[in-house]
Each structure stands twice: as C-alpha cells, then as structure tokens.
Amino acid sequence: MFNRTINTIVVSIIGLTGCQEAVKNNADKVFTGGTIYTADDNQSVATAMAISGDQIIGIGSDSAMQAMVGEQTEIIELQGKMIIPGLHDVHIHLPGIVETDSCDLASEPFSLQDLVPRLKPCLEKLEAGEWLSVDQWSYTAGNEPTEALPTMRAALDAVSTEHPIMLLGNDGHHGAVNSYALALATDKYGNQVGLSVESLAAEFADFTALVGVDADGEPNGAVNEDARKLVNMPNLWGYPEIDNELVSRISDKLASNGITSVLDAALTSKDITGFANAAKDSPLNYRMSIAFYADFEHYRPNPDAAIDVDAVVADMLAVQATHQGIANFKVDTAKIFIDGVIEGDPYSMPPTLPNAAVLNDYLQPIFKTDLDTGAIGVQSYVNTDSAACTQGRTLKSAADKKAFFKEHGFLPAQCAKSKGVLEKEAEFLYDYTLALYDAGINVHSHAIGDRAVRFALDAFEAARNASPDSQANLSMAHAQIIAPEDIPRFGKLDVYPSFTFAWIEPDAGYLMTVSPFLSHIKSAEDLFDPDDYGFSASYPAGSIAAAGGVLTAGSDAPVDTREPRPFFNLEKAVTRQQDETGKIYNAEEKVSLADALDAYTINGAEMLKNEQITGSLEAGKKADFVILDTDLLALEAAGNASQISDVRVLSTWFDGRKIYSADEAGN
C-alpha cells in the first residue's frame, strides 16, 4: 500500500444496478460538499456520502448522491471539511488513558531536587507504612542528579523512609524505588532478602541487567521490567478497578479523538471481566478487541520449573469462551513481550544499559554533562576488549574497584558486555507463539531491539509453517530497531507492524538515552549521521511498506502521554520532523499521508479482522467516520504537513450515530 496514487471516486451505491431509482429516498443523512478520504483499495477521494441506519449506502460526487435524497433525508453541508474513516488504534492500554486521583507526575520532567517537594504532598493521605505509588514518571526526561541527591534512591529516600515508594514509568517498563521498598524484595521462594549488592550477586543474579546500581554496586533505585515485581508492590498497573464509570470515561476520550476501533494491547482476565460487564450493561461506542495477558510466573508448577504453555493457552481460550456474544467486544488475541525497552540511563554511574534484546553488544559510553546547558554528551567509550577490562572483570573488593576507577576513569562495571535480555525463557516465548497460532489465536508481540524483532519473526515463520491452516493474524508492536535484512520479512510473512509514529520525532535528549549505546555518538549532531545505526534502523516504516508490509498504527497511550493523539502520530509518520529544531529523522522512511491514514483505518481493520464491516468508507460498511475541521490532504499538498497535529475533530460517528461533537463538548 506504499505510495499509491489517490484517485477521485465516481460513485458507489449499494444496490445500484444501472437504475438510480432503485435506491432513491434510502438515505437518512447525506453529507455533501466536502473531502472524503475513503481508504478503499484505490485510496479514492469523494465529496459526498449517504448513510441509512448504521450503514453507508452511497459515496461519490455531490450530484450522484442526490439519488439518495428523499423527503426525510437530512442534508449536512460539509463546506469543505473532511471526512475520514473512524480511526483504529491497534495498540493502546485503555484503563490508563484517563486520569485518576492517584499521585501523578503527568510525564513532566523533574530534576531529582525538584522531585522531592513534588512528591511529599502525596504522602498526606497514606496510613503508616502504606505504599506510595506514583504514576506517569518520565524516565527519559529530567531526573538530573545533584551532589546531595546523586541517585533516584537518594531522592525517594528524601521523600520518605517511612513508606515504600515506587515511581511507575510512563513507558510501562521502568520503575524507581526507595530504600524501604528495596528492603521488601523477596526471592522466588518468597523469602524476604532485600535488594542489595550481595543479593544481586546471589538470589537476584538473573535480574542484574534490570536493576540499576551505583559505583559501589548497591541498587540505585532503578528497577525495570520484572525486577519491579521483586519488591511486591500491590499494583504495578497504576490504574483502579475497571467499572462502568471508568469505561464511560474511556469511551468519551476515544470518541473525542476520532477513534472507533481499538486493540487493548494487554489485559488480565480480571480486567477483561470488568470491561465485559460494562459492555453488557451499556454497549460500547467503539469496537474493542482485546489481547489477553497473563502473569506467566503463575503457570510454573514450582519456582524452578518451566512455564506450562498448555495451561496458559487453555486459560486464554476459557476467557474467550466466557465473554462471547457481547456487542463490539471480542477476546481473540494474546500479548507476548519478547523484550523490554532500549533506553539507558546516562545519569547513573555506571550508566545503566538498555535491556532490549539486540544483535550486537551494547556500547559502554562515558557520558559528560555540559555545565551551561545541562545537555548530555559522550566523552569517550570504554574498550570492553582491552587489557584493563580483562583485569577489571576480575576485581571483587570495593578498594580495588576504586583504585581501578582512579587509574582508568571508568568503573569495572562498565566493562560488562550485554546484548540485553528476553522477557522470559526463549523456549517459552517460541513455544507459546506456536501454540497460540495453532489454536487460532491472534499473536501480538512486543519487540523493540533488532534481536527481539528477529526472534519474533522467526517464531512467526515457524508458526505459519507448523499450522498452515490457522486463520490467526500475526502482529508486532513497536519494532523500534530493525536489521535491514529483516525488513522484507514483514511482507513475506504477512506480519502487521504497529508503529507509534509519534516516537519517531527526533528529540535529542531522548535519543541520547538510546543511540550512544548502539553507535559511537559524541554529540547531538552525530545523532543524525546516516551511518549511525540508530538513525538508519529506527522505525523503518517506508522501507517496510515498500517491501510489501502492511503498516498499522497504535498510540500505546498512556505510554509517554495519556492522550492517544492520533493526528500527532499521523503528522510524524509523514514528516519524521521535530518542529522546534527542523531536524528530520531519516527522511527516507517517511510515508505519504494516504498511507499513514490507511495505517490508522483499513489496515488496522484488517489486523483486527474487521475489514468486512469497517476501516474504509464504502457502500455496505458500517457508518464509522470522523468529520475534521481541515482537509488533511490539502495540508500535505501545500507542504504544510507539520500542521496535521493541529487538526480538530468536529464530530465522531459510530454505527451511524454521532457519539461526539466538539460544539457540545465546548471545544
């Protein structure tokens, strides 16, 4: 679907067989005088559309749609405004897109010094010893240390030593805790041993890549991925019980953004039941597909045993059977995390490496901070194959490590080699993928690093070969770094990549948490060097589409922000540009607006297996559509694609009913 030519549609009327009289007077409403992007196979554009009940019954020119007008037909003049199909967000976490009354940092960056007074008021309503859970903490912006507060652990201890505290990263993968919480850590047998330099070398040796440490090897407060579970925080998800009121607020948020179909990318059986109960009480105003996610540790017969794949699949099928027959609601997908995320921490000493699974060892940068601007740069890199590192890896005592640092200017820990980690055992991830696909369950795999992407593709290929008659779909969320040789495999294997295009926007501060660990980066200018692997391999949307892959789009909200912001995502798919600096991140990977719209509409419908009823504006399909205040195609044609994110949703229609109006909402 890459770079197709947009055509003007002539006419499409359901039931038309050469005589327009056969369908006269059928329309309840006719929309006329606008720009209507249909997302059909030809990427056609019309000016008018007729609907009756919950269906589109005609689309074409203004004059052609006159055949649909009767005495009771309401004619809605668009006056040049635009209609697009209802948007499909195929990777979103619905419970997190609305605010709660929790302690919430709203993804705003705070230095460690400023973080302390910001969090102290959150303690006021807590009982003695009660957990303080903090939502939407930004891991990749802010968090600058001071001499008094050199680590996150020190900052959170300054907030309180009387309560366990955890900051929940706004990416769903990073966390930070205080000393009280670290002391609560239990081993896999349930024994409370605490997280310390000693336990990291013993009971928690498997978590060393997921726990940040200071120069002495003591935990610095950073706990990532499954390491967050070690301290036994009651709720790692950061949202309350799923009830009717929460689901209603979610529905309002989706409608105001023009979103009429979603895949919730990871829900537990308990939360699925909450949504199902709400959907039975009041039918959803969006088409909800759900990816089942299980706590796999519960499926080990004992702590040292392998995960029981058959038991997980059986539970997934049981949940699916329990919630059949609910309008606009289906549980037909399973979520798999192949790896974690690819951001490291330049502020920690030693710098915490990313944990996403990559093909080559992460580099070990020695970072520096500009005293005037606070910007992060790279002073040099540790040669992990040097004689110094060979010696450094043998040192045990704190005194020897300090002497090593004084001599070489870097810590022995910076000699470590790592290709990141897989979320679970490779054998389980592989077998689970094959078992799901064989059972007819769609597989939605999170993969960030190039090794994780390749692993997922290998498992998908094996699944297709093992179960050629399966009708399940295969999709991959994020796919941040893709090796060039793996790009054609998305098309060949019919795997839907789900990109969050907003993340392509090249923010130098963010990129300095990623690129220096992948390539030799010294300054922000190096981030845009075409020879930089991070630059060339990040989100290669254009190349995947050109190779026959079918792009889809997912906001991953509340990651980064609680807002799904579909038009910001559309803009960045087209421009790959940061407006403030004008920097473009690999212009070769841009996609056209039509292709970006298809990713958000018909392609998403195909991935969710709803393309027969929605995803494009064609006669016979459901009347799911959005009216915009601006013609997006005209913006692109005029060279103003950077204004796409400013476009407003005027109204959202679902099953032929207006479910959102900007006027009624006071916008």
Residue 471 has pLDDT above 70, yes or no: yes
Residue 380 has pLDDT above 50, yes or no: yes
Domain boundary among 362, 395, 415: 415
Domain boundary among 196, 231, 266: 231
Residue 617 has pLDDT above 60, yes or no: yes
pLDDT for the residue numbered 18:
35
261: which 2 tokens?
A: 């179909």
d(CA 417, CA 548) in angstroms, rounded, equals 36
Q: Are residues 46 and 21 in the same domain?
A: yes
Residue 14 has pLDDT above 60, yes or no: no
Least confident span in 207-216, 328-337, 640-649: 207-216
Q: Are residues 147 and 205 in the same domain?
A: yes
Q: Are residues 217 and 133 in the same domain?
A: yes
Is 435 inside a domain boundary? no
pTM: 0.93
The predicted model gives 143-156 an average pLDDT of 94
Q: DSSP letters of 250-296?
A: HHHHHHHTTEEEEEEEEE-HHHHHHHHHHHHHS--SSEEEEEE---G
Separation in Å, CA 579 to CA 528, 559, 571 = 15, 21, 11
Q: DSSP secondary-structure letter at 111?
A: -
State the total domains in the chain: 3
CA nearest to 367, candidates 516, 514, 499, 496: 516
**pLDDT tens sequence across 16-64:** 433 334 344 589 999 999 999 999 999 999 999 999 999 999 999 999 9
d(CA 367, CA 26) in angstroms, rounded, equals 68
β-bridge partners, 133: 166
Burial of 139 (0-12, 13-18, 19+ CB in 10 A): buried
Is 565 inside a domain boundary? no
Q: Are residues 107 and 225 in the same domain?
A: yes
Is 483 inside a domain boundary? no
Token pair 């903490």: residue = 137
Token pair 């990109």: residue = 499
Hey, what's the torsion of the CAs at 623, 626, 632, 634, to 10 degrees? Answer: 60
235 confidence band (pLDDT: 50, 70, 90): confident
Q: Are residues 145 and 203 in the same domain?
A: yes
Say which amino acid occupies 619. A
pLDDT for the residue numbered 25:
54
Hey, what's the torsion of the CAs at 445, 448, 452, 456, to 10 degrees? Answer: 30
Domain boundary among 365, 382, 415: 415
Hey, what's the torsion of the CAs at 146, 152, 153, 159, to 10 degrees? Answer: 80
601: which 2 tokens?
A: 């509409």
pLDDT for the residue numbered 665:
75
d(CA 594, CA 633) in angstroms, rounded, equals 8
Q: Are residues 154 and 202 in the same domain?
A: yes
* End-to-end CA gap in the chain: 35
Is 589 inside a domain boundary? no
pLDDT for the residue numbered 21:
40
**pLDDT tens sequence across 558-577:** 999 999 999 999 999 999 99
Q: Residue 60: CB partners within 8 Å, gap ≥ 6?
A: 9, 10, 11, 12, 13, 46, 47, 48
The predicted model gives 69-87 an average pLDDT of 96
pLDDT for the residue numbered 100:
83
Q: Are residues 200 and 112 in the same domain?
A: yes
Residue 251 has pLDDT above 80, yes or no: yes
Q: Are residues 71 and 128 in the same domain?
A: no
Q: If you average pLDDT over every residue of the chain, what do you get?
A: 93
Q: Are residues 36 and 71 in the same domain?
A: yes
Is 237 inside a domain boundary? no
CA nearest to 272, candidates 310, 308, 316, 306: 316
Q: Are residues 212 and 180 in the same domain?
A: yes
Q: Determine the Cα angle at 552 with ends 548 and 558, to 5°.
A: 155
Residue 485 has pLDDT above 90, yes or no: yes
3-state secondary structure string across 132-187: EEEEEECCCCCCCCCCCCCCHHHHHHHHCCCCCEEEEECCCCEEEECHHHHCCCEC
pLDDT for the residue numbered 11:
53
Burial of 584 (0-12, 13-18, 19+ CB in 10 A): middle
**For the chain, counts of helices (H) and of strands (E):** 21, 27
* Contact call for residues 78 and 50 (beta carbons, < 8 A): no
**pLDDT tens sequence across 406-426:** 999 999 999 999 999 999 999
Q: Could you tell me the residue range of the domain that residue 387 belongs to?
A: 373-415
Token pair 């038309």: residue = 16
Q: Are residues 108 and 218 in the same domain?
A: yes
d(CA 636, CA 590) in angstroms, rounded, equals 13
Is 32 inside a domain boundary? yes
**pLDDT tens sequence across 582-611:** 999 999 999 999 999 999 999 999 999 999
6 confidence band (pLDDT: 50, 70, 90): low
Give me the CATH number covering residue 659.
Answer: 2.30.40.10
Is 193 inside a domain boundary? yes
The predicted model gives 374-391 an average pLDDT of 93
Residue 334 has pLDDT above 50, yes or no: yes
Is 162 inside a domain boundary? yes
pLDDT for the residue numbered 7:
62
Q: Are residues 117 and 225 in the same domain?
A: yes
14: which 2 tokens?
A: 């359901």
* Contact call for residues 597 and 633 (beta carbons, < 8 A): no
